[in-house]
């Protein structure tokens, strides 16, 4: 499909390059992993989580965000040493890239471990500064003791998932508008139980790969044993046509990507309870007790599995990236950190409930 779109466009725009070829643009890894990210530095006033997203100095001194000197992997975690007094929130981290990346980008996150456990709500995602204008792309998200990754888009009205070419059959919703279905977005769930939680960790993790292309947004998940040779080592060029059918796909036919998506800031965060993990209907599906009282205030060891261990986050560009200041073309102001995220409600919970 991508090939035929490129062929068609080449009739009117002969200079176009094959959109499946991507070149390494930015590598967040090793000792420099945390260069180029901003820390939120405030309590979670976005999703009502019982979490404080600490600033850079607390993250470093409390070792909530650091590079492991032995493995060279980045660790981003929830505080699992402090007993939190009633009415307080637990420390955790939310970081956002200073640079933004537009259409024509490929995001590859190679992770060994993702946070899980009762009350825990991690995400690897992106959004444009003026949400919902410019869109949001949720590449990895899970809650509590769930076993499967949930992917979604959030946009202004008019973007829907139509005729996807994807392997997952777990589609919770197809209207991406923030204004519909209480902003649950257009959700696809990965059927692989290696895509989240203990199952992800036991297989040595894997790679979450997202293509933000003019002809559609696609997401692949490769468990460690199935990472394609083309991205298994430190490749400077990637050809997405070697990846096979994506787990999730939102083609241009139902959603004009250039219209609904602007350059994205990449975000990694972990919150606790809040609108999604703490929704009693959702929480009850995999955990017992009460989210805040039993877990946030409970034994710190409840958070021993609540960490990201990341080998790298890499951004590749097709060389024709639309804009964004991390790209090779026009600069774009990419300063905002916040903006509403997910306004989860019981409705979303019931949709998920029907899936699990």
Ligand X SMILES: *[C@@H]1O[C@H](CO)[C@@H](O)[C@H](O)[C@H]1NC(C)=O
What residue spans of 133-271 are helical by DSSP H?
A: 197-202, 229-232, 257-260
Regarding 289 and contact with ligand X (CB under 6 A), the answer is: no
Strands 264-272 and 120-127, how do they pair? antiparallel
Q: Which residues pair with 136 in a beta bridge?
A: 127, 154
Structure tokens at 100: 């933004």
Regarding 57 and contact with ligand X (CB under 6 A), the answer is: yes
Number of residues that bind ligand X (CB under 6 A): 37
The torsion angles phi and psi of 85, rounded to 5 degrees, stand at: -75, 155
CB of 165 to ligand X, least distance (A): 4
CB of 304 to ligand X, least distance (A): 4
Site map for ligand X, 209-248, x if CB under 6 A? Answer: -----x-------------------x---------xx---
User: What single string gives the DSSP state of each residue in 300-344?
Assistant: GGGGTT-EEEEEEEEEEE-S-----TTSSS---------------
| Residues 18, 319: Cα–Cα separation, whole Å | 10
- The stretch among 11-19, 151-159, 188-196, 269-277 that binds ligand X (CB under 6 A) is 11-19
Regarding 82 and contact with ligand X (CB under 6 A), the answer is: no
Burial (CB count within 10 angstroms: exposed 0-12, middle 13-18, buried 19+), residue 242: exposed
Q: Which is nearer to ligand X, 330 or 355 (CB)?
A: 330
Site map for ligand X, 141-170, x if CB under 6 A? Answer: ------------------------x-----
Is 136 designated active site?
A: yes
CB of 326 to ligand X, least distance (A): 6
Contact 265, 323 (CB under 8 A): no
CB of 40 to ligand X, least distance (A): 8
Q: Which is nearer to ligand X, 104 or 206 (CB)?
A: 104
Contact 201, 112 (CB under 8 A): yes
Site map for ligand X, 299-318, x if CB under 6 A? Answer: -----x--x----x------
Is 141 designated active site?
A: yes
Instruction: Name the strand (E) or helix (H) holding 280.
Output: helix 280-286
From 25, 53, 80, 126, residue interacting with ligand X (rule: CB under 6 A): 80
Q: Which is nearer to ligand X, 81 or 256 (CB)?
A: 81
Say which residues have a Cβ less than 8 Å from residue 121's Cβ, sequence separation at least 6.
Answer: 47, 49, 141, 142, 143, 144, 270, 271, 272, 273, 274, 276, 277, 278
Q: Where in the sequence numbering do the catalytic residues fall?
A: 136, 141
Q: Kindly list the residues in this chain that would bind ligand X in the complex (CB under 6 A).
A: 1, 13, 16, 19, 27, 29-30, 42, 45-46, 55, 57-58, 72, 77, 80-81, 98-99, 103-104, 165, 214, 234, 244-245, 280, 284, 304, 307, 312, 320, 325-326, 334-335, 338
């Amino acid at each position: 499909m991508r090939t035929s779109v490129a062929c068609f466009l080449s009739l009117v725009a002969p200079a176009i390059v094959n959109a499946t070829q991507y070149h390494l643009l930015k590598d967040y890894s090793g000792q420099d992993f945390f260069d180029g990210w901003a820390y939120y530095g405030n309590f979670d006033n976005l999703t009502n989580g019982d979490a404080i997203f600490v600033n850079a100095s607390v993250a470093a001194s409390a070792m909530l965000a650091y590079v492991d000197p032995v493995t060279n992997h980045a660790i981003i975690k929830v505080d699992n040493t402090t007993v939190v007094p009633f009415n307080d929130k637990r420390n955790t981290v939310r970081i956002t890239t200073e640079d933004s990346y537009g259409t024509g980008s490929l995001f590859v996150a190679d992770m060994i471990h993702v946070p899980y456990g009762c009350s825990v709500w991690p995400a690897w995602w992106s959004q444009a500064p003026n949400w919902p204008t410019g869109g949001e792309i949720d590449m990895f998200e899970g809650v509590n003791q769930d076993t499967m990754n949930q992917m979604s888009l959030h946009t202004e009205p008019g973007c829907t998932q139509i005729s996807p070419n994807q392997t997952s059959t777990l589609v919770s919703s197809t209207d991406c508008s923030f204004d519909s279905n209480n902003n649950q977005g257009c959700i696809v769930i990965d059927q692989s139980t290696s895509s989240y939680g203990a199952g992800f960790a036991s297989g040595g993790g894997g790679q979450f790969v997202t293509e933000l292309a003019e002809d559609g947004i696609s997401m692949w998940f490769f468990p460690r044993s199935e990472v394609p040779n083309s991205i298994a080592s430190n490749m400077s060029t990637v050809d997405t046509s070697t990846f096979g059918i994506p787990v999730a796909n939102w083609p241009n036919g139902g959603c004009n990507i250039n219209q609904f998506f602007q350059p994205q800031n990449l975000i990694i965060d972990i919150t606790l309870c809040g609108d999604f993990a703490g929704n009693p209907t959702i929480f009850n599906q995999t955990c017992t007790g009460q989210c805040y009282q039993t877990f946030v205030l409970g034994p710190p060891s409840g958070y021993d599995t609540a960490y990201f261990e990341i080998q790298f986050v890499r951004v590749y560009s097709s060389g024709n990236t639309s804009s964004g200041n991390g790209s090779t073309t026009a600069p774009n102001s990419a300063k905002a950190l916040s903006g509403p995220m997910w306004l989860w409600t019981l409705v979303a919970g019931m949709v998920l409930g029907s899936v699990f």
